Structure formats: C-alpha cells, structure tokens
Amino acid sequence: MLSGSDTIDGICPSGRNAAMFRTLKHEYGYTGGRKSAVYSNSGNRIMLGDTTGILLGLLPVYANKLEFIRLDTYNLINENTAGLHDRLFTNLRLSAELLIDTGFLLVVTNKPLYRITKKVTEQVFENTNLIADFTNRMCNSDAGELQHYLLFKKRCMDVQTTSLLNRSFSGKRFSNMLPDDLVRYCVHTACSKDAILLNTIKGCDTMAAPILYLNRQDNGNRKFLLLCPENTRADYANLQLMLATETDFDCYISGNELFINDSSGQLNTGLPAKQIREYIWYTETGVGFFDNSFSLAEPYLLGIRKNTAIYLMYEYDARTVLNQEFLSTMQTKAGKYIVYAHECTLSSEQLQRKKIQFKQIR
C-alpha cells in the first residue's frame, strides 16, 4: 500500500534521509531560441534544485537509462562528517540507479573532500570498478587549485573501452586540459550516439557543449540533463540564455510531493496523472517509464515488464474500483497482473485465480 511515509528504500545507511519523493515541475521550454510554456520535447533538460531531490525526481523517467553521469561534490563542502557521508552515499546510490549497467560515473571533487569522496564512491560502485584516478587544474582558477577526478564503471563496461580510458587518465595529472575536452573524450570513447547524459554543475557548464559538438560531428542524437544546485541560480539563468541559441531544451524545478504530507498518506491528486503513472511504474519495475504504451482500449495499462502487466486505475476526480466489470476490459495477456485502485470488490479466490495482485491507492 502506498503511503506518505514511503521513501526510496535503502538510500541512506544511517536512516536519516528524510527526502520525500518530489516530482519535477516543468517551468518552460525553449524551441528555436524562443521561450514559452510549451514543452520543447527535445529530450534535453536544465533543472534547478537540491541535488538529491532532483536525482530522486529523475528516477521515474530515467532509471537505468543514462550512460554517463558527471557528479560534483563541491556543494557538500559545508556538511559535517556524518552529513557529508550520508549525502554523498545518497547521491551516489541514486546515480547508480540512473545508470545503465554499461554506464560510467565521473566524480569531480577537490583536495579537502577527496579521501571521503573516494571511500564512499568505492562503497557504492566497488573499488574493483575504479577505472581512473587523476587530477587537473581547476577551470578558470587563478590560484591553481586542482580538481580530483574519479572515473568508475557501474558494472560491465567492455574490456577494450575500460582499458582505453584507464590508459588515458589513470594516475595522471594534467595542467591545461579543459573540463569540456575531458568530458567530450569520455563520451566519445564510452557512450553511444543516442546516449542520455547527466551533469551536476559547479560554475560553467561542461556537458552540453561537448554533446552538441559531438552530435554535429557524427549526426548523433545524444541528450543532456543539466542539474544546477539551488545555490547556482545565476548559472541556471545564464546557461539558458547561452544554450537557447544552440539547441532546444526544457527547464524544470523541484515540484510537489507525491503524497500529502500528513498521517493519512493520501495521494496528492493535484499532480498530473502522467507523473503518478511514471512513479508507479518505477516503483514496480526499477526502470524509467516508457511513455509509449498508452492505449485507448486499456487506458489504465502502464505496460508489461518481465511478463507482468501493471495497471494504475486512477482518475483525478473519482474513486476507482477493481471489480468484475474491469476484469472484462482487460485484454493484455501476461503471466501475472498488478492493479492499483482505490477499492477492490473481488474475492481473494478471484484475485488468485486471475493472478492479480491488488494494491490500494489511499
């Protein structure tokens, strides 16, 4: 049963992670350099908000879909030791959820945070998946501060690609390699032409430019997701103006909680049905929602995964009932069924015979 106390299980080892799942709210889109309330439907996103909250909000659409994530840890510099460990662990776990099995993670940190960043990243991604550990002079830093880079594969990147990246970076120190050149090389070497890539931004953007460059070079269809932490509002605004002349994209901020924050755990009916569908699909399958399965014949069907058909009987202004009448409308053949509804009038025997698992919406 869904309730307002539900969070993503196992994210924070200390149990202090109280981050409720929030949707991402569409602010406006840019199409052909023009800003409007209409979605650009480009697949490119710029998002402003708390890093953990935005990563959580991406899961229902992008879980197990991203090929590359560049994760900054600079915004955690003021956390105490316990808070730093928990936030790092949470953000890394969420990043692992978003990556495909052959995806990889580039963590960018500095000297004060290097040791704990490496330790926690190895806890999540395992030290055997470390591809490279290297340093480079910080972009536009007159003080010559060095950035530390940790390059990890999630799981099963092919041996040839792993070896190439390792030879290129491991144990090396660069003095003049621009961050966007580094990202461009990694993406070109290890990602497909249709890759979706995520960057958390500290200062100037180092993800969109390399992706747009590579797409022009090889007619690729790579998409970028740019996450601007809450304390970088100026970067968020400037980035929009810069990219509007280059490509189409949509802008998002953290939205409302999925559940009303009280003891009843009631579903927030003010949210678009599409976002509720995405969340339910993710919680049942662990992968992002593919919004291509909507059927006029079966409007409540979310899709089929691993021989299980998943239905969400949800109406904005009415309670739904799993009953005999609804059974007669089910056309999809599957090994078993999961059906969400407000009520169920079928007996346990009927549910068992039809191989249906009922889950109540409150």
Comparing CA positions, the residue from 231, 183, 181, 224 lying closest to residue 203 is 231
Predicted pLDDT of residue 12: 30
Predicted pLDDT of residue 74: 77
What's the rounded Cα separation, in Å, for the pair 279 and 262? 20
Predicted pLDDT of residue 8: 34
Q: What is the pTM of this model?
A: 0.89
CA distances from 107 to 38, 84, 145, 289, 324 (A): 34, 15, 16, 27, 53
What's the rounded Cα separation, in Å, for the pair 21 and 47? 16
Phi, psi (deg, nearest 5) at residue 249: -165, 170
Predicted pLDDT of residue 174: 80
The 10 Å Cβ neighbour count of residue 64 is 18
What ranges make up the beta strands (E) of 32-125? Answer: 34-36, 45-48, 66-72, 99-109
The 10 Å Cβ neighbour count of residue 312 is 22
Domain 22-255 grouped into CATH 3.90.1110.10: no
Predicted pLDDT of residue 230: 81
Task: Per-residue pLDDT tens, the chain, 362 aa: give them.
Answer: 333 333 333 333 333 333 467 889 999 999 999 999 999 999 999 999 999 999 999 999 999 999 999 998 877 777 777 888 899 999 999 999 999 999 999 999 988 899 999 999 999 999 999 999 999 876 555 556 788 999 999 998 889 999 999 999 988 888 767 778 889 999 999 999 999 999 987 655 678 999 999 999 999 999 999 999 887 788 888 889 999 999 999 999 998 887 776 545 577 777 888 888 998 999 899 999 987 656 778 999 999 999 999 999 998 888 999 999 999 999 999 999 999 999 999 999 999 999 999 999 87
Q: Do residues 289 and 302 touch, judged by C-beta distance below 8 A?
A: yes
Parallel/antiparallel/unpaired status of strands 130-137 and 173-174: parallel
Record the tokens describing residue 301, joined without a space. 């069907």
Q: Do residues 167 and 205 touch, judged by C-beta distance below 8 A?
A: no
Q: Do residues 252 and 62 touch, judged by C-beta distance below 8 A?
A: no
Predicted pLDDT of residue 358: 96
